[in-house]
A and B are shown apart, each in its own frame.
Chain A
Amino acid sequence: MTVNLAHFSKPPSEREVLRYALKNILSDYADQHDELPFNADDPDLDTLTDHRINFGGNYSQLVARLDNRFDGTSFEVNSDDHLDIEDLQGIFTNSTASYPLVEVHPELYEYQAQKDESPETYVIQRGHHGETLVPLLIPFSVEEESVFYYDPFLDYYANENAPTQKISRGLFIELWGRCDLTSWALWVDQGQQRTLMDINEAQS
């Protein structure tokens, strides 16, 4: 499974990963959905995520602001946790839905380092409180054995286009579930909305 990532734009800095991941899913989606009130040159991308230098942006305002933006259209922003892999698969096969943003457990990088297949890699050094990077990914497809995804940091480091990354389906489910936002995804769809704010969380 290879997806052409040429139309995704590379983050210009290591600190603008969320903004560019968002820009990529929205401009890809706008390609297929002319009526989406968004274009790739949107100057408000930082405002959407409440992005501040070093401090970063957040999802709760992103959801609220996209909601506002989509008001009066058929588009809805979805942000939900405790999803199943089948839910994710449903997003890919549903032509009215965008690619999702997901977060997975930082251990992803340790598995990747062991695998070390790609020449385009990067090493993560933890900070002095032991905190590390929570990977933000755009998955493309779930197959019987594998999940394929785009990693904005790899694109930042890659000389050419970012290579498509692959992870085993079971490991993806594990790392997605072990993240502090359990099996969470954010995506745009037409129709019914699901949001994390005020939704009930069952014990994991």
Chain B
Amino acid sequence: MSTESPLQLTNRDFKINTHEFGEESLEDKIQGRLRYYYSRRLFVQSVEYDPEEEFLSATVGITYPQDVSDSRDGQNVLKMVNIGDVETLTASPMGNEYYKFELPPRADLYSAYQEKHEKLLDELDWSMAKAIYSRVYQLNPVRNQLNSIVQIVNWVRREDKLTVEDIQDAQSNDNTEKYIQALEDLGFLKVEGNNVRHGRKIDSADLQNLTPDKFEKKIMGDIVVDGYYMLRKELGLRMLNHFPVFANAYYISAFRREKSNLWLTIDDVVENLSTEYNRDEGRLAVEDKLRDLARVGVLEFENGEVSGHPDIYREVQQDAPIIG
């Protein structure tokens, strides 16, 4: 078979003769062809090759450049963001140490990448939400959106014989029943028949003898941590990840650069929102959010530039996924 070429790329598949290449070179050659076919940003993360079992597979990721230069420092820094484990392509053996990779459509690989990227951002937002919740809770938009939940918690602590109807009558909110259900599911309320009482999680917070302000902050923090996805996705409480997303539009660069006091311009943050979150937000609106976040100690804001807060940086970093 020596007349046949060791590497053949067509529009459907890619054949390789493993006999011709050493382990490192095999990875390199597979990467060269897949990069040519799919994206010049693709990388082969690992190759699994077992000649005995006639097994060959390649796990691929996507790497892209992000400008993470500090706006107060002259050095230009380009971070190569690595999004790994996007897809594993398995080849079929064709005999004589030839293997064939059927090439899935480019759009499929792109979707796999997007899913992976979104999942990482979602985890990052969740870590940020937990870290900054008690601070952003002071901000009006967040507080307003959670007000119905705060009311329910306060009422069940005050009144012993509340019914679902009592609460519904007192709130001009279509979601009241869903909130009650969610709080029951999470263990904050106990609903027996038509009666609504405080559940075990409210009871245990009560044991701490906190001032009313601190109690509210504590119990709302617990509710957000335990019900982040449910409240946001099922009950439409978008404010829960609203501020975390704006905070991460700054912190994503700081984490990638591994520098908690990285200075960015507002335009840099606007660009991160667009390239990472696929959100087109106006510069003025973004500046407002950054100022809000600075006011409650999530960020530093000075002369139109943003920097991180070391405590927030440390706390989120311990918990967040590696995002590149």
Contact mask for chain B residues 188-229; partner A; CB cutoff 8 A; 1 contact, 0 none: 000000000000000000000000000000000000000000
* Chain A residues, CB < 8 A from B276: 54
Q: A131-B63, A180-B28, A181-B35 are in contact. Are A125 and B79 (CB under 8 A)?
A: yes
Q: A127-B63, A201-B5 are in contact. Are A56 and B76 (CB under 8 A)?
A: no
Report yes or no: A54 in contact with B117, Cβ–Cβ below 8 A.
yes
CB distance from B73 to the nearest CB of A (A): 11
Partner of A129, one of B8, B38, B45: B45
Partner of A14, one of B11, B21, B62, B65: B65
Among B80-88, B92-100, B296-304, the stretch in contact with A: B80-88
* Chain B residues, CB < 8 A from A42: none
Q: Is A163 an interface residue (CB 8 A)?
A: no
Report yes or no: B78 in contact with A136, Cβ–Cβ below 8 A.
no
Report yes or no: A18 in contact with B77, Cβ–Cβ below 8 A.
no
Q: Is A111 an interface residue (CB 8 A)?
A: no
Report yes or no: B80 in contact with A126, Cβ–Cβ below 8 A.
yes
Report yes or no: B78 in contact with A180, Cβ–Cβ below 8 A.
no
Q: Is A60 an interface residue (CB 8 A)?
A: yes
Q: Is B9 an interface residue (CB 8 A)?
A: yes
Q: What's the Cα separation between A129 and B323 when bound, in Å?
A: 11
Q: What's the Cα separation between A136 and B39 when bound, in Å?
A: 13
Partner of A180, one of B11, B29, B62: B29
Q: Is B275 an interface residue (CB 8 A)?
A: yes
CB distance from B5 to the nearest CB of A (A): 4
Q: Which of chain A's residues has its CB closest to B30's CB?
A: A180
**Could you list 22 A-B pairs, sorted by A, with CB under 8 Å?**
A15-B64, A15-B275, A17-B65, A18-B40, A54-B81, A56-B40, A60-B36, A61-B106, A123-B76, A125-B68, A125-B78, A128-B84, A129-B82, A131-B82, A133-B63, A136-B40, A156-B67, A180-B31, A181-B32, A182-B32, A196-B9, A203-B20
**B interface residue numbers (CB < 8 A to A):** 5-11, 20-21, 25, 28-29, 31-32, 35-41, 43, 45, 61-68, 75-82, 84, 106, 110, 113-114, 117, 256-257, 271, 275-276, 278, 322, 324
